[in-house]
Structure 1
């Protein structure tokens, strides 16, 4: 019996003979739709080539403009600004001390000049006077030439947090590439200090005390010196004085610079007196109840690993927690405190 050659129909038109099968999709096509299929594949290849070229052209830019490089650049600029400020303050103090010494020498020189001139004009001097004036002049010369009594000392409490770069494991794997992520970690000083101030407030006691010296027309904002990117950190504060307004405790991303107005800063998170929560820079609805009063102590806990912050009020044992979305508030973090009344004063406890 003669066998019948059964051919699969074309996958496109479902009629006609499928004269060939694509080795890729394993579908049968008639001659017209096979050619069309090849054209579609050619378009896909061209699209892929264009994506490849765009990726390749952006490759260098992605690495040269990497956010961590920008973060390091910002740290460098902040460090330079801090060093310049400290150096200028030290120079001004040194000039003041040197001028004091110079003025004292000039005063002594004037007295000696007046005595010499008067004695010469009156022809009223003896060997005793000459010996006395010689000794005075020698003392003044030794004062100038002797080692200065002014010393420059280095404060072991670092003002500028150091940074380091290292690899850390990542859960993302790319085929044929050794995967790693680079993070920048700040080596934070164990003692937090009040650092940048936006508004009218003054620091004292080695920047451990901050005092508001303006009315509530604009809240002075104070940023901490620490940079927190990993681990858990407890920062203890004592309320030396508080007026009728609330005080804000919270964090923001250290990638954000100090702002005159942070209302649009989505990285700000925290609480106004444990009653009103601020998320992504916006204060949520809450009551105006005040828990914090003069003499109270609070602890701000920064948990970088679990992406969470906590504020504990020791007198009432009240504690509030807030989860942080690092998309809005990227690590590393720094503290933010806002004072609302003139005379408000907060101390960082060791």
Structure 2
């Protein structure tokens, strides 16, 4: 620090004049007593800077030699931990879905095997069987063995996720239709329903039944007449099936001619419902057993309708119910 005598100036600390000096660095004026004090302050500040320098140097060495201690690395490690936990939870949920779905499939397979066991035992004891019986039994066994490894109603696919390079596994438990009555036919292994012949009512029901949880199903309207009559909804499993599904007690759903079906009765303009279903539309039926609610959504128009289900009027388990009336109308059940 260079000092210069300054006349008629006062010390910036005590305000006295004798033996004044000016600090070139801060341009402040000091008397003889306080110029040393100011110098000591500068020396102390230099010591702090040297200390911070040493600390900074040690931090650089630490982060270089122990990379995992860096805050950015800790952030990545935490992200990795959370991602693994999420993946593990998705895997746990997926396994539960597989076990539940396979349990239902295995139950049917066990029933089939029991019936075959009785047939084989009887045929062997009575020595009463032919080539056609042998072929039928063998074909049945081959089909069961194949479906045990890959049940036709269960599918595993990868779906989107917030992290592009981590694909979420989605378990799709496929539904099929296996019961029908009236002018209606079930085709394509239970995935397609078609009105057969001339105009006339027909009804199908799903193989699956639902008492708990949330379930989504998607349908494609492959053909619909200009008059537009089809029913999409649910029904209690215990209600007898009949061609005129809309007047079955426990029936709830929507009809494409602007009617809503509530416990087997039709209501026009219920909650403002107006059908917007057209050919090739994709319709989603959402079933929430926990909230006693069903919802219909047209994926083209995003038009949504909800119904609250009184479980006294429509007891669990529920099944999906579709109905057709006009000739050649058809609806396809899609993978979710």
Instruction: Report the TM-score when normalising by structure 2.
Output: 0.49
Whichever of the two has the greater Rg, that structure is 2
Instruction: Report the TM-score when normalising by structure 1.
Output: 0.47
